[in-house]
Chains A and B, each alone.
Chain A
Amino acid sequence: NAGVMQNPRHLVRRRGQEARLRCSPMKGHSHVYWYRQLPEEGLKFMVYLQKENIIDESGMPKERFSAEFPKEGPSILRIQQVVRGDSAAYFCASSPGDRGGTEAFFGQGTRLTVV
């Protein structure tokens, strides 16, 4: 049983390009979180999704960032017109969906570098 799968593991983009980060949750998990981590800093919540629905996007920047979790396929975090400050590790975590109690399991992350 595969764990949470993120791809790509490393992504290099030039300023102004688009970055697409993918996350396939663990089998049986219907909820996905996205977090961003800058070097030497903690995990910052970005968005919490279930299939075809955004539960909480309070951590998402108002512009250039969007996320989706379609009925079929992986969750996608999309960053348009990337800037150097977007360089970070982006972690996805999945959970079964019991909002009251369950832990989440993380993928290995995508390290985005904007040059």
Chain B
Amino acid sequence: RKEVEQDPGPFNVPEGATVAFNCTYSNSASQSFFWYRQDCRKEPKLLMSVYSSGNEDGRFTAQLNRASQYISLLIRDSKLSDSATYLCVVNPNKLVFGAGTILRVKS
């Protein structure tokens, strides 16, 4: 079983749509969690950290369920500029990346 699993997509959505990504992880000792985004052929950039209580940053909401070892990212009112690959990241004692979920927002 992979340490971090994500649906690869692609998710093709119209502008303005709400889209949700899911991620599961296998190491119950993981202590911190993040979402990164990666644009084509560029370096990954931190989107947001994920906290047990859930957290929101503008149109983006992240949730963590430790019991189910599950992380989610919700994007509301999708923009064309949201098109990217979204990477789920967990940290048991080093940063472990999922393979990413591709999002394509179309006008």
Contacts and interface: CB of A to CB of B under 8 A. Distances in A.
Contacts, number: 52
B95 A101 contact: no
Interface string B34-67: 1000000111111001000000000000000000
Interface of B: 31-32, 34, 41-46, 49, 87, 89, 91, 93-100
19 contacts: A33-B94, A33-B95, A42-B87, A42-B100, A43-B44, A45-B97, A56-B93, A89-B41, A91-B43, A91-B44, A93-B95, A100-B31, A100-B91, A102-B32, A103-B32, A103-B95, A104-B95, A106-B44, A108-B43
Contacts of B93: 56, 99
Contacts of B98: 42
Interface residues of A, number: 24
Q: Which of B42, B45, B91, B94 has the most CB of A within 10 A?
A: B94
Contacts of A69: none
A8 to B, nearest CB: 15
Given A45-B95, A45-B96, A95-B95, 17 more contacts: A33-B95, A35-B97, A41-B99, A42-B100, A43-B44, A48-B94, A55-B94, A56-B93, A91-B44, A99-B93, A101-B91, A103-B32, A103-B34, A103-B49, A103-B95, A104-B95, A108-B42
A89 B44 CA distance: 12
